[in-house]
């Protein structure tokens, strides 16, 4: 696949722990006690906020992953979308728990089914790359499509790439690949080489090689690594020969 960098795929709610915490003020103490009271009574929002406080050491608390995960699980179990997404991120990244892509996808699915676009995108990544679920391009297209409809910018490029380059002719769709790729390129002001590379592949799949070639050249001019330049140049040669690109599964 074009990329499996999860850091680019999973942009939301990175739970990175600070090394120190601020001294707890009277106001912090009051807010903490209020949150704790609500959380103990089953308030999912309070449980999620309490988990965040323990993860980040806010409200003057010392960071405590055990307590953070305890409250995050409680909130997620009550179908609070942000808690489900964050719990999925914890499992995917191994923050507070051992890395477990299967468990991550379970929680992403729960949030995705409640129409959270970031979770839908993350679930699409899982299906695209075969992480935590069986690799399935059709399912990846389904979830990327849902995220794209909700305006998740990363999903536009991811969806366009599959629609343009899949080896499965039943999945390829040049016209929609172009539409989503053009949206992604516009959103990044034609400054992201990966988006331009996808757009070039989409033009090629749609038979618009007169656009594919200069767009790929534009992408090559922006790449930062020799590996990417070689990869993009390989596609450029195909497009110059009026041959679309097929990504190897």
CB < 8 Å & 24+ apart, contacts of 135-140: 135/249, 137/162, 137/166, 137/168, 137/171, 137/249, 138/171
pLDDT value of residue 9: 33
Three-state SS for 170?
Answer: coil
Claim to verify: residue 160 and residue 246 sit in the same structural domain: yes
- Domain CATH code at residue 187: 1.25.40
In this prediction, residue 6 carries a pLDDT of 31
Let me know whether 71 and 109 are in one domain: no
- Is 132 part of a structural domain of the chain? yes
- Confirm whether 36 is domain-assigned: yes
Neighbours of 148 (CB within 10 A): 27
> What total of structural domains would you count in the chain?
3
- Asked if 112 and 162 sit in the same domain, the reply is no
Mean pLDDT across 73-102: 97
236-240 long-range CB contacts below 8 Å, 24 or more apart? Answer: 236/200, 238/204, 239/200, 239/203, 239/204, 239/209, 239/212, 239/213, 240/209, 240/213
Mean predicted lDDT score pLDDT of the chain: 92
Q: For 234-246, how does the pLDDT look when each residue is reduced to its tens digit (9 = 90+)? A: 999 999 999 999 9
- The residues, any chain, with a CB within 8 Å of residue 168's CB and separated by 6 or more, are 137
Q: For position 114, which CATH number holds?
A: 1.25.40.10
What pLDDT is stored for residue 248 in this prediction?
A: 86
| Residues 43 and 113 reside in one and the same domain | no
DSSP label of 155: H
Residues 184 and 200 in one domain: yes
Report whether pLDDT(4) > 80.
no
Place of tokens 């489900």: 84
Q: Identify whether residues 33 and 109 lie together within a single domain.
A: no
Cβ-based burial of 204 (10 A; exposed 0-12, middle 13-18, buried ≥19): buried
Q: Does residue 7 form part of some domain?
A: no
Secondary-structure breakdown of the chain: helix, strand, coil percentages, each rounded to the nearest 5: 65, 0, 35
Q: Is 19 left (phi over 0), alpha (psi -120 to 50) or beta?
A: alpha
Residue % of the chain over a pLDDT of 90: 89
The DSSP 8-state label assigned to residue 12 in this structure reads S
- Whether residue 29 is contained in a domain is answered as yes
Backbone torsions φ then ψ of 223, nearest 5 degrees: -65, 150
Instruction: Kindly state whether residue 204 falls inside one of the protein's structural domains.
Output: yes
Same domain, 52 and 26: yes
- Domain range enclosing 215: 152-249
> Which tens digits make up the pLDDT trace of 25-81?
899 999 999 999 999 999 999 999 999 999 999 999 999 999 999 999 999 999 999
């Amino acid at each position: 696949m074009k990329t499996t960098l999860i850091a680019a795929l999973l942009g939301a709610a990175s739970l990175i722990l600070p090394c120190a915490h601020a001294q707890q003020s009277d106001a912090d103490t009051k807010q903490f006690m209020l949150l704790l009271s609500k959380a103990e009574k089953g308030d999912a929002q309070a449980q999620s906020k309490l988990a965040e406080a323990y993860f980040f050491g806010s409200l003057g608390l010392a960071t405590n992953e055990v307590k953070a995960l305890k409250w995050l699980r409680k909130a997620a179990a009550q179908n609070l979308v942000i808690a489900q997404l964050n719990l999925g991120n914890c499992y995917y990244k191994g923050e507070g728990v051992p890395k477990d892509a299967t468990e991550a996808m379970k929680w992403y699915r729960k949030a995705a089914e409640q129409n959270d676009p970031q979770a839908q995108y993350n679930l699409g990544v899982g299906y695209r790359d075969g992480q935590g679920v069986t690799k399935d391009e059709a399912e990846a297209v389904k979830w990327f499509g849902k995220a794209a409809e909700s305006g998740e910018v990363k999903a536009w490029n991811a969806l366009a790439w599959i629609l343009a380059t899949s080896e499965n002719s039943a999945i390829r769709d040049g016209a929609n690949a172009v539409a989503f790729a053009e949206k992604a390129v516009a959103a990044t002001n034609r400054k992201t080489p990966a988006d331009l590379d996808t757009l070039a592949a989409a033009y090629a799949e749609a038979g618009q090689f007169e656009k594919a070639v200069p767009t790929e050249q534009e992408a090559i001019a922006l790449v930062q690594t020799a590996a990417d330049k070689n990869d993009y140049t390989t596609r450029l040669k195909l497009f110059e020969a009026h041959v679309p690109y097929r990504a190897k599964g």
